[in-house]
Amino acid sequence: MTAEEWKSLGKFVTIDNNKIFVIDTDEPSSRRETIVILHGFPVLSFDFREILLLLKEHYRVVIHDHFGFGFSDLPKTYCYSLIDQANVCIELWHKLHLKSFTIIASQFGSMIAKEILYKKNANLLPFNIKSIVFSNNSDNKQLHDNLDTIHNFIQNKKLSKYREVLNNYKNKDFFNSDEDNETNKKYKDITKIETIWKKFNELDNQKKILVLSSYNEEIYLYWHRWIKALKDAIIPIKIFWRKDDIANIKEILLNIATFQKDTIQIIENDKCFVIETEPKSWLLMILKEINRPLYATLKETYFKS
Amino acid sequence: MKLIDWKNKHTSIDLNGQKLSYIDTLEGEKVLFIIHGFATSSFDYHKIIDQLKDKYRIIIPDLIGFGLSSKPKNYYYSIIDQASILSSLLVKLKIYEVSVMSHGYGSCILCEMMSLNLSNNLVLKIKNSILLNLSLTLELSDDNNELESHGKMISQGILKISISFEMFKKYIRESFYRKESISDEDLKTSWELINLNDGLKNLQFSDYFIAECGKFGNKWLKNIHENDSKVYVIWGKNDQYGNIQTPLKIQSFMNLDDKNIFLMDECSYFPMLEKPTEFAEIIKNIDL
């Protein structure tokens, strides 16, 4: 399947004046069991293509590209925060008339899922979440390649300057009411700002970097909040881990040290399945935990031969 | 006022696993919801409640980590957390339309509450917003350096007052235009409120709050700018902490009329304690 074919499966929904790319396999009125997928980084919705084809026979599947990724826009007036990405998801699902569903989330997406879980615990959501599956699904080589790009970018001494210019760009829309105002002076050189913004949109990885630049800071700021979300959860939660996924092992250990709850199950992905190489095995591993009968049937079909 | 007398005026409710303690005068159609600043509590408003309660129903929560509410240990209760718990409180009390008055840190929470609204989670209408000293000062900083220096000033101020009761008295008095306008008894009660349940430790999180302002400042400005709520500013002119430029910045940013800005002479960071009668009159005259 090519990227264009993938694009034709989905549609664009406008949220906050920006377009977001989403694939919804059913009509809004559908009452089938629903699975919502939150992709991580560096994976895009496109990487779930095989999984989607398989799953849609049995579930209504909803998957979107987060703002700044894949086919979705990089919003101009946006603070690129995980909290906002979570709010965008909530608005999107609301618009798709989802009522009740299971979430499968990975990496970047799992932080968004934790924020959504927190809101669910506080009764702030207009829908029911049946369970959440956290599973990092990307192989490390690709992640490290991407991290190198980010590392080089951070080493770039001009970065802080760019960020400030772009920050000003984001603000200019609501500051320019009074042209001679003191606070408006820094927005004078619009052409320079426009050029930098255009450059950011042209290069694919740079676009992501703006979104990811706040990621680390937020994990630190909201660590308490998101651990509490898991701690207080009353819905079943499954967390998968792999021995070759170092960063995640640390998080799993912190989780185990913090709580022991019946609702939270920690499962080892012992064969280290990742979505790029073995999407079907990866999916079966998850189905085994959330839908045994379907797992049995699919295993028959795909692995007998 | 003594701590015990103040405690008797409070009600409490269990929400999201925390005990939230608040003042509620119960009677009145129009609701005035007050969000206090960092390191203070609802006690700041004890002088104006009686004057205002004839006209409005006054609700003043103690934020989590402050005053009589629960104080989680080793836990940063973020601005986003505070905003959700306050929204849950209003939902529980079946209040769907409010006017909000907020002081410093409280204004960040107000903007975040507006954001919860925008993302379709709630149907809470914030009709009027009254911003007091230090509101949006960090968010409206001209550049990163200014934000950093404002942040430093705030953390230093908080560090100073958390050393001992004597230092607390000294520095709180310094943030009053007339040192005699707060009595020893009131200072003692404020100190006791901070110290309840080992609450002094919570003040160490002031840096987190400043980091959060740096991160979400732009978004909050956008929220308050796009919200339909009418904005008023009441500001003590002689405030040594908050930049006195801020009310003018807010005015030009929000395109506010002069009649929406009230600058109080001979008044510093705590207008509601320094000139309670005048302060309450201003609020009574605003058509909330």
CATH number of residue A114's parent domain: 3.40.50.1820
Reply yes or no on whether the pLDDT at B32 is more than 80.
yes
Bridge-based pairing of strands A128-135 and A237-241 is parallel
Residues A40 and A168 in one domain: no
Reply yes or no on whether the pLDDT at A174 is more than 60.
no
The mean pLDDT of A247-275, rounded to a whole number, is: 80
Alpha-helical regions (H) of chain A: 3-9, 49-55, 82-95, 107-121, 140-155, 159-175, 190-202, 204-212, 215-221, 223-232, 246-258, 279-290, 292-303
Q: What is the predicted pLDDT for the residue at B130? A: 96
Residues A77 and A189 in one domain: no
Report how far apart, in Å, the C-alpha atoms of B60 and of each of B40, B103, B116 are: 12, 12, 20
Q: Which domain holds residue B235?
A: 3-285
Kindly state whether B225 is in contact with chain A, defined as any CB-CB distance less than 8 angstroms.
yes
Q: What is the predicted pLDDT for the residue at B21? A: 96
Across chain B, mean pLDDT equals 90
Q: What is the predicted pLDDT for the residue at A36? A: 96
Residues A103 and A50 in one domain: yes
Residues A167 and A238 in one domain: no
Residues A258 and A130 in one domain: yes
Bridge-based pairing of strands B57-61 and B97-102 is unpaired
Q: What is the predicted pLDDT for the residue at B217? A: 85
Reply yes or no on whether the pLDDT at A116 is more than 80.
yes
Tokens of A296: 């049995």
CATH code (residue B220): 3.40.50.1820
Q: Percentage of chain A with pLDDT > 90? A: 28
Residues A26 and A75 in one domain: yes
- Is there a contact between B221 and A77 if contact means CB atoms under 8 Å apart? no
**Token pair 């255009």: residue:** A198
Asked whether residue A295 is domain-assigned, the answer is yes
Reply yes or no on whether the pLDDT at B133 is more than 60.
yes
Prior bond of B271 cis (ω within 30°) = no
Chain B interface, best mutation among A221, A232, A258, by max B CB count within 10 A: A221
Q: What is the pLDDT of residues B215-224, one digit of tens each?
A: 888 888 888 9
The mean pLDDT of A232-238, rounded to a whole number, is: 91
Q: What is the predicted pLDDT for the residue at A237? A: 92
Residues A10 and A59 in one domain: yes
Residues A16 and A103 in one domain: yes
Tokens of A294: 């379907």
- Is there a contact between B225 and A174 if contact means CB atoms under 8 Å apart? yes
Contacts of residue B190, Cβ cutoff 8 Å, sequence gap at least 6: B40, B41, B43, B168, B172
Contacts of residue B251, Cβ cutoff 8 Å, sequence gap at least 6: B233, B258, B260, B261
Reply yes or no on whether the pLDDT at A253 is more than 90.
no
- Is there a contact between B116 and A124 if contact means CB atoms under 8 Å apart? yes
Asked whether residue A211 is domain-assigned, the answer is no
Residues A241 and A107 in one domain: yes
Q: What is the predicted pLDDT for the residue at A43? A: 79
Angstrom distance (rounded) from CA A85 to CA A15: 11
Q: What is the predicted pLDDT for the residue at B26? A: 93
Kindly state whether B122 is in contact with chain A, defined as any CB-CB distance less than 8 angstroms.
yes
The mean pLDDT of A169-174, rounded to a whole number, is: 57
Most distant CA atoms of chain A, gap in Å: 74
Asked whether residue A212 is domain-assigned, the answer is no
Neighbours of A233 (CB within 10 A): 21
Asked whether residue A215 is domain-assigned, the answer is no
Q: What is the pLDDT of residues A189-228, one digit of tens each?
A: 667 767 777 776 676 666 666 677 677 778 888 888 888 8
The CA distance from A98 to the nearest CA of chain B, in Å, is 14
Asked whether residue A246 is domain-assigned, the answer is yes
Confidence bin at A184 (pLDDT 50/70/90): low
Residues A128 and A229 in one domain: yes
A·B CB contacts under 8 A: 85
The CA distance from B279 to the nearest CA of chain A, in Å, is 30
- Is there a contact between A124 and B252 if contact means CB atoms under 8 Å apart? no
**Token pair 């664009």: residue:** A12
The CA distance from B119 to the nearest CA of chain A, in Å, is 6
List residues of chain A with CB under 8 Å from any CB of chain B: 77, 79, 81, 83-84, 87-88, 90-91, 94, 118-119, 121-126, 164, 167, 170-171, 174-175, 177-178, 181, 183, 186, 214, 217-218, 221-222, 224-225, 228, 232
Asked whether residue A208 is domain-assigned, the answer is no
Q: What is the predicted pLDDT for the residue at B25? A: 95
Q: What is the predicted pLDDT for the residue at B240? A: 75
Number of domains forming the structure of chain A? 2
Residues A192 and A252 in one domain: no
Q: What is the pLDDT of residues B53-76, one digit of tens each?
A: 999 999 999 999 999 999 998 889
The model carries a pTM of 0.83
Residues A98 and A160 in one domain: no
Residues in chain A with CB shorter than 8 Å from the CB of B219 are: 79, 81, 84
Residues in chain A with CB shorter than 8 Å from the CB of B249 are: 183
Q: Which amino acid is at B285?
A: N
Number of domains forming the structure of chain B? 1
Predicted ipTM of the assembly: 0.76
Q: Which residue of A has its CA nearest to B16?
A: A122
Across chain A, mean pLDDT equals 80
The mean pLDDT of A252-270, rounded to a whole number, is: 81
Q: Which domain holds residue A99?
A: 3-138+222-303
Asked whether residue A214 is domain-assigned, the answer is no
